[in-house]
Amino acid sequence: MEVLKEIKSKIEQNKEEKRKKLLDNAYELFETKGFKKTSIQDIVDKAGVAKGTFYLYFKNKEDIRNHLVAEKSNNLFKRAIDALNTQDIDQFDEQIIFVINHVIDDLQNDNEILSFINRDLSLGFYSHEISKIFDDNALGLYDLFVEGIKTVNKSIENVDIVFFMIVELIGTTCYHCLHEQIPCDMETYKPYLYKAIRAIIHNA
């Protein structure tokens, strides 16, 4: 029985290593060659796996990109939640603002990730693959939001929609401010963004 468990464990480990190798090499190629110029053959050649292996994990090139965007987005929010846990912030809306500010600062300091994620920050929450991570992470932003919003806005009709609105607002508007300085630079924009988020939390 123990031998079977060990074999299964090694098989799963091998599968995860291949998947990670595909993701890592795809990300590197997307960054150096560009998404459009990178083919699935390029990815498998660089990863050193057969083309059939690619399709065991991903449907197509867009699918592997979406997995990467979701993973990068999730990492941003996870680091922000970890930082929040070192702070003494009791007010729910201020907790959310702290997390958002941390994510924005991370994006501001890493133009490569900003360009790659583009406006798709919400994929970190709404991709099926990444949702498994949040199921196991009690400190995820979604869980924090669901629990916290009940304390400040008991009449809210649909927490999921409000959460989606906020994440989309961050992703789209911050991309324009950070990447294109439209309509202004990020520091000028932040007070307006945070005011809008507080209003959504309290009045949705």
**Residue 135: pLDDT band by 50, 70, 90 thresholds?**
very low
The predicted-structure confidence for 179-203, as pLDDT tens digits, reads as follows 889 999 999 999 999 999 999 888 8
Residue range 131-155: mean pLDDT, rounded: 65
What is the DSSP secondary structure assignment for residue 154, as one 8-state letter? T
Is residue 77 located within the same domain as residue 141? yes
Is residue 168 located within the same domain as residue 93? yes
Domain final residue, candidates 58, 87, 107: 58
Domain final residue, candidates 58, 75, 104: 58
- pLDDT value at residue 125: 60
Is residue 48 located within the same domain as residue 94? no
Q: Which amino acid is at 114?
A: L
Question: Into how many domains does the chain fold?
Answer: 2
Extract the tokens encoding 35. 């998404």
Is residue 100 located within the same domain as residue 36? no
Is residue 43 located within the same domain as residue 86? no
Report the candidate in 177, 96, 195, 184 with the shortest Cα–Cα distance to residue 140. Answer: 96
Asked if omega into 183 is within 30° of 0 (cis), the reply is: yes
Is residue 159 located within the same domain as residue 68? yes
Is residue 44 located within the same domain as residue 120? no
Long-range (24+ apart) CB contacts under 8 A made by 193-198 are 193/100, 193/169, 194/97, 194/100, 194/101, 196/169, 197/93, 197/96, 197/97, 197/100, 197/166, 197/169, 198/93, 198/97
User: How many whole angstroms separate alpha carbon 117 and alpha carbon 123?
Assistant: 9
Domain final residue, candidates 58, 75, 97: 58
Task: State the first-to-last Cα distance of the chain, in angstroms, to the nearest integer.
Answer: 54
Q: Residue 28 sits in which domain range? A: 1-58
Planar angle of CA 62, 58, 33, nearest 5 degrees: 45
Report the candidate in 102, 110, 52 with the shortest Cα–Cα distance to residue 79. Answer: 102
Is residue 35 located within the same domain as residue 70? no
Query: What's 161's domain CATH number?
Result: 1.10.357
Is residue 84 located within the same domain as residue 182? yes
CB atoms within 10 A of CB 145: 22
Is residue 17 located within the same domain as residue 47? yes
Query: What's 24's domain CATH number?
Result: 1.10.10.60
* Mean pLDDT of the residues in the chain: 84
Is residue 76 located within the same domain as residue 21? no
Coil, strand or helix at 36: coil
Q: Which of 10-24, 25-39, 41-55, 76-90 shows the lowest mean pLDDT across its residues?
A: 10-24
The predicted-structure confidence for 87-115, as pLDDT tens digits, reads as follows 999 898 899 999 999 999 999 998 888 88
Is residue 89 located within the same domain as residue 170? yes
Q: Does pTM top 0.95 for this prediction?
A: no
- pLDDT value at residue 130: 43
**Residue 39: pLDDT band by 50, 70, 90 thresholds?**
very high
User: How many whole angstroms separate alpha carbon 40 and alpha carbon 60?
Assistant: 8
